[in-house]
């Protein structure tokens, strides 16, 4: 199944924002015992310091001395939503390419490698230009034949340049260096809204991390551009084209969002991926990887002044830039129900969703509570009805913000249905449960259970350096203030039955609904 719901497209954001993949025991025995949010917040905040570098990059440090380690998370406020449609997949592709090294990392001799890289760039651009020209239906056959002959020559020549460059390339040299330094969890991911780079290291390796990571953004060499373009196309085939439920998710995005920034999958479309151009990718990096859109969070055994000094020494080298314009295409208000069907060799599945505002809207926390009421655990309303009692679906997941949070988005329900004949019955039960909540509201016991679990999950996540660094960087970047990770608890506590009733009445209408179905064939 694709990573449909919820915060961050399920890219390991924070347990409190992943209602359907994590569970934890309640942190208090009964609803009479009040969790002291203020005391909890004060206990954490006293160990946190934040500074903003002269170039605009924000740095958040948190001291945790339980082990001599640090978790380093670096987030950039750029994802697939920042791409033009004809460059869909660029943000994710760039994440891959930024592991290819610098003039001093990933190569045995950059001066000898450089001429090959220049020839690769020149001939690669000529090939891409010709292939795009061939898409023009008004090009005559004689001209097409000439272009194809030229393409054959250029493609053979490009292969020679690539072979020449390969003799100087050291693959994954940064990964090897980190492994020797004792790394854990060295990874990166891209979502609709964010690109994230993360690692855990021994505490004394902070300077090494700062030097290597800042160099990644200071002077990247986009080595192996064309071979890597084939790699991400293969990744697309594995993650999407061979998985009908992933294609169903992609269809949902297209149907719900159209040509707005959220109307495309993070990985991009196959036909756009094969035509991504090196110059466009460089331009995308230059425009979007700006220090003011970056947040660093380091949590662990550290000294504040020394750590800030180290990070500023290396990341201060990044030049301040003006933040780019956001893609101008916007989400158009929905004027009627949208329905689409995907035919594939697969068991039945469906996604239904309702348009909702971004995370910055006052109703955001109520959407989160509603998602838990419907789909968090065996006692949640839809799991109880659809999975346990009526046995119509194998699995149901509810996401409060799909596929992202910065823009108008969707509240979604995914159902893995046993029989396609039962789609209408599944929809009827969803409608019944929403109507029950609209009419009667959730019970006090339901709300308290959700609030208890929310707190337990957040406390559990914050017991780990990585969870803390992930949360701090996320809230600072997307919510614009890391302290909102604490006010989130207060906001969840304030959600009541009346707010849930008003939420359903306001947003859950037929004209704001989008539903896509998977129609099984050949089974």
Tell whether 16 and 123 lie within a shared domain.
no
Secondary structure (3-state) at 193:
coil
User: Is pLDDT of 89 > 50?
Assistant: yes
User: 418 and 503: one domain?
Assistant: yes
Among 387, 383, 397, 391, CA closest to 350: 397
Please tell me the predicted confidence (pLDDT) of residue 37: 65
Residues 18 and 146 in one domain: no
pLDDT value of residue 328: 65
Which pLDDT belongs to residue 453?
A: 87
**Based on the domain organization, do 497 and 355 belong to the same domain?**
yes
Q: What is the pLDDT of residue 190?
A: 97
Predicted local confidence at residue 446, as pLDDT:
94
Q: How many CA atoms lie within 13 A of 106 on its CB side?
A: 23
pLDDT in tens, 240-251: 888 999 999 999
User: Is 460 part of any domain?
Assistant: yes
- Residue where a domain terminates, one of 142, 169, 196: 169
CATH code of residue 348: 3.30.830.10
Helix (H) or strand (E) holding 299: strand 294-300
Give percent helix, percent strand, percent coil of the chain, each to the nearest 5. Answer: 50, 15, 35
Is residue 504 domain-shared with residue 355, that is, in the same domain? yes
Strand partners, 356: 409
Residue 91 preceded by cis peptide, ω within 30: no
**What is d(CA 411, CA 454) in angstroms, rounded to the nearest whole number?**
19
Q: What residues make up the domain containing 397?
A: 7-44+329-520
Average pLDDT over residues 269-294: 94
Give the least confident one: 38-42, 48-52, 317-321, 364-368.
38-42
Give Cα separations from 482 to 23, 202, 295, 475, 476 (angstroms).
24, 25, 10, 5, 4
Q: Average pLDDT, stretch 495-505? A: 97
| Whether residue 509 sits in one domain with residue 422 | yes
**Per-residue model confidence as pLDDT tens digits over 422-468:** 999 999 999 999 999 999 999 999 999 998 888 888 777 777 899 89
22 and 162, same domain (yes or no): no
Whether the per-residue pLDDT at 21 is higher than 70: the answer is no
pLDDT at 310 over 70: yes
What mean pLDDT, rounded, does the chain reach? Answer: 90
Write down the pLDDT at residue 458. 74
In this model, does residue 276 exceed pLDDT 80? yes
Q: Please check whether residue 339 lies inside any domain of the structure.
A: yes
22-38 per-position pLDDT tens digit: 222 333 333 445 556 67
Q: Is residue 310 part of a domain?
A: no
Give CA–CA dist 197/187, Å, rounded.
Answer: 6
* 399 and 489 housed in the same domain: yes
pLDDT band per the 50, 70, 90 thresholds, residue 522: confident
Report the domain count for the chain. 2
pLDDT score of 13 more than 80:
no
Q: Where among 128, 143, 169 does a domain terminate?
A: 169
Pairing status of strand 349-356 against strand 513-520: antiparallel
Helix axes 423-440, 497-507, angle to 10 degrees: 130
Report if residue 395 sits inside a domain.
yes
pLDDT digits (tens, 9 = 90+) for 113-150: 999 999 999 999 999 999 999 999 999 999 999 999 99
What is the C-alpha to C-alpha distance for residues 119 and 162, in angstroms, rounded to an integer? 9
pLDDT tens sequence across 317-346: 999 999 888 776 666 778 899 999 999 999
Of the pLDDT bands very low, low, confident and very high (cuts 50, 70, 90), residue 78 is very high
What is the phi/psi pair of residue 192, to 5°? -60, -35
Residue 19 shares a structural domain with residue 138: no
Determine the pLDDT at residue 34.
58
Do 138 and 12 share a domain, yes or no? Answer: no
Is 120 found in the same domain as 14? no
Is 359 a domain residue?
yes
Q: Is residue 111 part of a domain?
A: yes
334 and 452 in a common domain:
yes
- Domain assignment of residue 273, yes or no: no
Pull the structure tokens for residue 127.
């090939």
Asked if residue 18 belongs to a domain, the reply is yes
Among the candidates 133, 154, 169, a domain finishes at 169
* pLDDT surpasses 90 at 16: no
Q: What number of residues does the chain have? A: 523
**Which residue has tokens 């780079």?**
197
Which whole-number Å values give the CA distances from 111 to 97, 108, 198, in the listed order?
A: 20, 9, 30
**Tokens representing residue 109 in the block:** 């001799």
Question: Residues 488-515: what's their mean pLDDT?
Answer: 94
């Amino acid at each position: 199944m694709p990573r449909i719901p919820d915060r961050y497209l399920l890219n390991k954001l924070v347990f409190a924002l992943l209602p359907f993949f994590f569970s934890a025991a309640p942190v208090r025995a009964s609803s009479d015992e009040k969790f002291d949010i203020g005391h909890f917040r004060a206990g954490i905040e006293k160990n946190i310091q934040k500074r903003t570098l002269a170039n605009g990059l924000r740095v958040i440090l948190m001291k945790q001395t339980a082990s001599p380690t640090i978790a380093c998370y670096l987030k950039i406020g750029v994802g697939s939503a920042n791409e033009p449609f004809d460059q869909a997949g660029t943000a994710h592709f760039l994440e891959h390419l930024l592991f290819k090294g610098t003039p001093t990392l990933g190569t045995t001799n950059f001066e000898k490698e450089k001429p090959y890289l220049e020839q690769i760039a020149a001939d690669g651009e000529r090939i891409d230009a010709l292939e795009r020209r061939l898409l023009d239906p008004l090009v005559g056959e004689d001209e097409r034949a000439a272009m194809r002959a030229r393409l054959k020559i250029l493609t053979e020549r490009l292969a020679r340049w690539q072979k020449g460059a390969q003799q100087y390339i050291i693959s994954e040299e940064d990964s090897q260096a980190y492994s020797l330094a004792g790394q854990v969890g060295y990874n990166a991911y891209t979502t609709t809204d964010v690109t994230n780079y993360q690692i855990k290291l021994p505490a004394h390796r902070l300077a090494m991390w700062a030097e290597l990571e800042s160099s990644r953004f200071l002077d990247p060499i986009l080595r192996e551009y064309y071979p890597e373009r084939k790699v991400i196309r293969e990744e697309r085939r594995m993650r999407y084209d061979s998985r009908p439920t992933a294609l169903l998710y992609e269809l949902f995005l297209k149907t719900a969002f159209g040509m707005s920034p959220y109307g495309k999958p993070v990985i991009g479309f196959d036909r756009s991926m094969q035509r991504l151009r090196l110059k466009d990718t460089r331009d995308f990096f230059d425009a979007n990887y700006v220090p003011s859109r970056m947040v660093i969070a380091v949590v662990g055994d550290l000294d504040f002044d020394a750590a800030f000094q180290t990070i500023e020494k290396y990341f201060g080298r990044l030049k301040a830039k003006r933040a780019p314009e956001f893609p101008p295409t916007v989400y158009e208000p929905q004027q009627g129900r949208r329905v689409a069907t995907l035919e594939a060799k697969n068991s039945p599945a469906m996604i239904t969703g309702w348009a909702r505002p971004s995370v910055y809207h006052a109703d955001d926390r109520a959407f989160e509570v509603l998602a838990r009421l419907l789909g968090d655990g065996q006692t949640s309303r839809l799991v109880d009805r659809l999975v346990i009692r009526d046995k119509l679906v194998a699995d149901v997941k509810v996401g409060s913000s799909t596929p992202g949070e910065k823009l108008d988005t969707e509240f979604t329900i995914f159902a893995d249905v046993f029989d396609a004949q039962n789609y209408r019955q599944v929809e009827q039960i969803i409608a019944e449960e929403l109507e029950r909540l609209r009419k009667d509201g959730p019970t006090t016991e339901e709300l308290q259970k959700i609030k208890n679990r929310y707190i337990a999950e957040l406390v559990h996540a914050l017991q780990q350096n990585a969870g803390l660094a992930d949360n701090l960087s996320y809230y600072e970047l997307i919510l614009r203030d890391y302290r909102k990770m604490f006010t989130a608890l207060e906001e969840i506590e304030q959600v009541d039955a009346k707010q849930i009733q008003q939420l359903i009445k306001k947003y859950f209408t037929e004209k704001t609904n989008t539903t896509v179905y998977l129609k099984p064939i050949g089974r």
